[in-house]
Structure formats: structure tokens, C-alpha cells
A = this chain, B = another copy of it.
Amino acid sequence: MAQTQTFSKNQRIVLDIVEKAKGPLKAYSILFNVQKKGINAPQQIYRALDKLIEAGKIHKIESKNAFVACKNSNCEVSKATAFSICESCEIVDEISDTKLSKYLSKFNHKKGMKFKRFNLEFFGLCKKCKIK
């Protein structure tokens, strides 16, 4: 069972914004959104993000330098993340597919490297953008 974790003030503020967002948020857009709450500097955002990522509550979409809330509560997804990304509208969806996750977690490189973690990003066109 996953440990219930307590977060600090800034961490809660950042998590809240990211969870309420419809899509991935950039760090500076988070900053802009929380300036009324007394957070003034990028450091404060990046520090909160670091902790939240470590805790698995937030993931970074590496190809976009943006951040999304984890959809899979109580799972170890921060070590096994997969996303689908629409190249047109940029919508991002976290993929939770047990088979895929198991397949990749078992995958081992020939060169003797044992993997601790992976991140997979799929790109394409979402349903809506295909129609247009």
C-alpha cells in the first residue's frame, strides 16, 4: 500500500494547480498561476515539482518540458511511465496498461544493464484531431 504523504504549503499549491489543469503545464505557467498565492520565483516551483515528482504525484513530459498530475493513484508509476501525446492539440494522456507496463519492466538490455525506471512517450493524432 502506498504511504499517505504530507506535503508542504508550496508543494500543495503546485500540486493543486497541476491537478486542476486540463493538460500539461509548463513551470513558468504554474508560476504565473500561483503568484497571487505568494510564490514569486521559479525556484519555488521547481523545488515543489521535484518533490512531487519524487513522490509520484506529478510526471514530467520530457518532450514538452511540461508537467501533469499522475492519474494512477497508489501505484509505482513514477518508475514506469507511459504517455500518449497528440501532435496537433498537444493533449496528453497517461497510459495505464498493465501488460505494457509489465512487458517493459521485464525488458532487460543485452549489455548487462538492469533498468530501474523507464519513460515512454507515444505521438500521434487524437480522435478529435484526426477528424479535422
Q: A62-B62, A103-B103 are in contact. Are A115 and B111 (CB under 8 A)?
A: no
A130 interface hit (Cβ, 8 Å): yes
Q: A84-B113, A109-B93, A113-B84 are in contact. Are A120 and B123 (CB under 8 A)?
A: no
A28 interface hit (Cβ, 8 Å): no
Inter-chain contact B111/A127, CB cutoff 8 Å: yes
A95 interface hit (Cβ, 8 Å): yes
Determine the distance from Cα of A121 to Cα of B107 in the docked complex, in whole angstroms: 12
Contact among B84, B104, B119 for A109, CB-based, below 8 A: B84
Contact among B107, B112, B113, B119 for A100, CB-based, below 8 A: B107
Determine the distance from Cα of A119 to Cα of B120 in the docked complex, in whole angstroms: 6
